[in-house]
Amino acid sequence: MLAVLMAATIVAAAEPPPGLALDWTAPPGCPDRAEVYARVVRRTGQEAADRASLTARGTVREAAPGRWSLTLELTGATGGGRRELSAPRCEELVEAAALVVAIAVDPRAALAAGEVVVPAPPPEVAQGAGTNGQGSEDMSPRAGPNGQVVKDMYEGPKAQPRATDEMEAPVVEEPARAEAPAPTAKPPSVRVGLRAAAGVSFARLLPRPSAAVSMALSVSGKRWRAELGGLYAPPVTGGDGVIGGLFQAGAVELRGCPVLRRGAVEVPLCVGLQVGAMQGRGRGTGLATTTTARSPWLAATVGAAVGWRPRGRVGLWLGADAIVALLRPSFVTAGGVKVHEAARFGGQVLAGVEVLLR
């Protein structure tokens, strides 16, 4: 009877365990046994896990706030070993444990996905004794190919420098590249502006100085400026109460200017040409009838302006021009009495606001 029991014990000891046996203990919030087992199978395949002769026992605990430790014991048909690892996150220890177990099951299949760095133990952790009575770093020289691969994984690849004991993360990630800053938009080389101004114009050209309004569209570069605008002077009286009239003028003006710039200030120096008409309507007690007459207007202008645009698109404008009449309108009554004739020289002063359209 005793011989039968001894034979049965020997036979039972000779039989390998039924596939990979995984005993896993971890606090809530860490991956459980099923997740660890699934990660091993993903690396080795289910067939390799089913025919393995390996028992793995892992225990995860929180060693300190923000620090986790793992005790992993491997026992196989040809030997085993024990290892204590540390990492700042439980997830990192789970990945390291799954890798070590997968290498012990099938080294070639487990490493086919590429090299993964396993977290090193903290320097204060003493090396414990393995199940075969040897140090945990030994993993038993007689442990066969699987045990030796696990030992090599702990020590790091021989062709590479050893991982330092202070390594925090199990996977070395390439730092994200900072995106190149977007290029700063350059101001347009050609700007378009619209100016509205008012002031006094046609001085000495009409019978008396007249208020005036103008609008101008400008196109400008860094050192030049071109304008196309319109100018209107409302009616003013001329003559006397016996023989007189109301006189007004309007013109289209084309100007070209070299520009001096300094910071937010620009100084255009302009020459231009005015083309339009001057109109007079008779009035007074000495006139038997009153009629309206128009005379063409043609004049050249020379002047300067100051523009100030401290910020944004809106700026202030002040300009003064000398006017040289190339045609001098003259108004007379039916009896030949001259009521008004434009002078040869005159001037205008306008102030306003200019807005950049682009």
Note whether 132 and 204 are same-domain residues: no
| 175 within some domain | no
Mean pLDDT computed over every residue of the chain: 78
pTM above 0.85, yes or no: no
Note whether 141 and 239 are same-domain residues: no
pLDDT tens digit sequence for 316-345: 999 999 999 999 998 888 777 888 899 999
DSSP secondary-structure letter at 143?
Answer: G
Q: What does the block give as tokens for 246?
A: 């109301």
Q: Higher pLDDT residue, 319 or 42?
A: 319
- Boundary of a domain, candidates 105, 133, 155: 155
Note whether 195 and 151 are same-domain residues: no
- Boundary of a domain, candidates 155, 183, 213: 155
In whole angstroms, give the CA distance from residue 358 to residue 188: 8
Q: Which of the four pLDDT bands, split at 50, 70 and 90, describes residue 186?
A: low
- Boundary of a domain, candidates 111, 128, 155: 155
Note whether 345 and 219 are same-domain residues: yes
| 236 within some domain | yes
State the CB neighbour count (10 A cutoff) for residue 53.
Answer: 17
pLDDT value at position 113?
53
CATH code of 310's domain = 2.40.160.20
First vs last C-alpha separation in the chain: 108
- Tally of domains in the chain: 2
> Which structural domain, as residue segments, surrounds residue 34?
16-155
pLDDT value at position 314?
94
Q: Is 60 exceeded by the pLDDT of residue 128?
A: no
